[in-house]
């Protein structure tokens, strides 16, 4: 029972002092995080990061629940059915969670939850083996235009982040997305291996995935898909090179659609405070993530925009379901 005398008194006080009390009454003391992915996955790491930062803020009752499978949609569907009205429950999502329902018929999509805040992420980068014949990004695109099939583009799962990213580059170069010889891989470790043994001409992914190899002079960066140059990456942005593409692998959180604005705002405030905390900044720094915080409204607009662009590309690739 949580209804103690103290909460009864608080409720009374809140009743008489509604104007000042609501923030108090809605203080979040625990959080239940659903993760659409197994332990060690990108979204899992984001959830564990949130857990760690909240603990540092004195919120110890944080539960992380891994629900892998179905491109993240099993987690979303479980969240929708079991967390109705739960004011302490959030579900983590990322770019893949938006793209997956576009390529496969799923009973739920991200439209079934209420996106609350984008938190962190990494801009996509393009790299080649250090001793590759490919001199720079311009050279890469020249080779691609001359003989599209000869360039093997390595990335993560089909129909997901890198597949869409490369397809957008192809379109700007005046080619069609289908001409990209995309080589999918089940995890980033294998993407790096494909770059190192040269079976992929070029690979895409987060900077952090390649950083160790770049420092060891085994891989070489060609370009980054960030709006401005990244401080710890010695490579031009795609914008500078005339390719207007900004592409990030981001992570955010959503709440259940049944929540009223007051409850949703309490959680939104929690995350707004979280992203400013010193411990969160340390986590971002340690893991090489960028602060990509967006509050509710712009976040939802961002998701709508991502969905529109991805649908267009995936339709051209022949991967989108109608």
Partner 1 sequence: METLTLLAQGFAVALTPDNLIWSIIGVTLGTAIGVLPGIGPATTVAILMPLTVGLPPVSAFIMFAGIYYGAQYGGSTTSILLNTPGEAGSMMTAVDGNAMARRGRGAQALATAAIGSFVAGTIGTIGLTFAAPLLVEIALKLTAPDYFALMVLSLATVTTMLSNPTGGGSIAFGIASLFFGLLLGTVGLDPQTGQARFAFGVPELLDGIDTVVVAVGLFAIGETLYMAATDGGKADSMHKLRGSFWMSREDWSRSWKPWLRGALIGFPIGAIPAGGSEIPTVLSYTLEKKLSKKPEEFGLGAIEGVAGPEAANNASAAGALSPLLALGLPTSSTAAVMLAAFQQYGLRPGPLLFESNSSLIWGLIASLYIGNVFLLVLNLPMVGVWVRLLSLPKPWLYGGILVLSSLGVYSLNGNAVDLVILWIIGMVGFVMRVIGVPIVPCVLGLILGPLIEQQLRRSLAISQGDWTVFVTHPVSAFLLLVALAFVATPIISSLRKPKPQSAVGMTR
Residues that bind partner 1 (CB under 8 A): 38-41, 44-45, 48, 51-52, 55, 62, 64-71, 73-74, 77, 103-107, 149-150, 152, 157-160, 181, 183-184, 186-190, 192-193, 196-200, 208, 211-213, 215-216, 285-288, 319
| Distance in Å, CB of 72 to partner 1, minimum | 10
How many residues make up the chain in this entry? 322
Residue (62 or 141) nearer to partner 1, CB: 62
287 and 208 in contact (C-beta within 8 Å)? yes
| Distance in Å, CB of 65 to partner 1, minimum | 8
Residues sharing a CB contact under 8 Å with residue 223, sequence separation 6 or more, in sequence order: 125, 126, 137, 235, 236, 237, 238, 241, 243
Residues sharing a CB contact under 8 Å with residue 100, sequence separation 6 or more, in sequence order: 71, 72, 73, 106, 159, 160
| Distance in Å, CB of 276 to partner 1, minimum | 20
- Residue 62: phi and psi, rounded to 5, are -115, 125
Residue (139 or 190) nearer to partner 1, CB: 190
**52 — alpha (psi -120 to 50), left (phi > 0) or beta?**
alpha
Structure tokens at 206: 């987060």
What stretch of H or E contains 295? Answer: none
Residue (257 or 287) nearer to partner 1, CB: 287
Nearest CA to 65 among 109, 19, 34? 34
| Distance in Å, CB of 15 to partner 1, minimum | 38
Between CA 104 and CA 74 the distance in angstroms is 13
Residue (129 or 264) nearer to partner 1, CB: 129
Between CA 117 and CA 108 the distance in angstroms is 20
Residue (39 or 298) nearer to partner 1, CB: 39
| Distance in Å, CB of 287 to partner 1, minimum | 5
| Distance in Å, CB of 5 to partner 1, minimum | 33
| Distance in Å, CB of 151 to partner 1, minimum | 10
How does DSSP assign 36-58, residue by residue?
Answer: SS-TTSHHHHHHHHHHHHHHHTT
CA quadruple 302, 285, 222, 167: dihedral, nearest 10 = -30
Residues sharing a CB contact under 8 Å with residue 6, sequence separation 6 or more, in sequence order: none
Residue (261 or 286) nearer to partner 1, CB: 286
| Distance in Å, CB of 314 to partner 1, minimum | 10
Residue (194 or 263) nearer to partner 1, CB: 194
| Distance in Å, CB of 237 to partner 1, minimum | 24
Residue (146 or 216) nearer to partner 1, CB: 216
Structure tokens at 207: 């900077």
Residue (242 or 288) nearer to partner 1, CB: 288
Between CA 267 and CA 271 the distance in angstroms is 6
């Amino acid at each position: 029972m949580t209804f103690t005398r103290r909460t009864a008194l608080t409720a009374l006080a809140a009743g008489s002092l509604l104007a000042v009390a609501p923030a108090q009454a809605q203080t979040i003391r625990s959080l239940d995080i659903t993760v659409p992915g197994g332990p060690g996955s990108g979204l899992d790491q984001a959830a564990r990061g949130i857990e760690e930062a909240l603990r540092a803020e004195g919120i110890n009752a944080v539960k992380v629940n891994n629900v892998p499978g179905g491109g993240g949609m099993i987690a979303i569907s479980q969240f929708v059915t079991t967390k109705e009205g739960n004011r302490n429950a959030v579900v983590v999502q990322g770019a893949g969670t938006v793209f997956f329902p576009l390529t496969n018929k799923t009973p739920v999509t991200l439209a079934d939850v209420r996106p609350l805040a984008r938190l962190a992420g990494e801009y996509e980068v393009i790299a080649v083996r250090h001793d590759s014949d490919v001199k720079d990004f311009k050279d890469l695109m020249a080779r691609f235009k001359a003989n599209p099939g000869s360039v093997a583009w390595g990335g993560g799962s089909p129909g997901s982040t890198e597949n869409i990213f490369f397809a957008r580059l192809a379109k700007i170069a005046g080619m069609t997305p289908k001409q990209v010889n995309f080589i999918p891989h089940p995890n980033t470790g294998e993407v790096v291996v494909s770059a190192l043994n040269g079976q992929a001409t070029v690979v895409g992914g987060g900077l952090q995935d390649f950083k160790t190899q770049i420092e060891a002079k085994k891989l070489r960066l060609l370009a980054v898909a960030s709006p401005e140059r990244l401080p710890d990456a010695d490579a031009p942005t795609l914008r500078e090179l005339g390719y207007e593409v900004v592409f990030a692998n981001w992570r955010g959180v959503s709440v259940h659609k049944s929540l009223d604005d007051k409850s949703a705002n309490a959680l939104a405030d929690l995350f707004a405070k979280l992203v400013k905390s010193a411990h969160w900044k340390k986590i971002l720094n340690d893991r090489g993530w960028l602060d990509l915080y967006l509050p509710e409204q712009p976040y939802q607009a961002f998701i709508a925009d991502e969905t529109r662009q991805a649908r267009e590309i995936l339709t051209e690739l022949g991967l989108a379901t109608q």
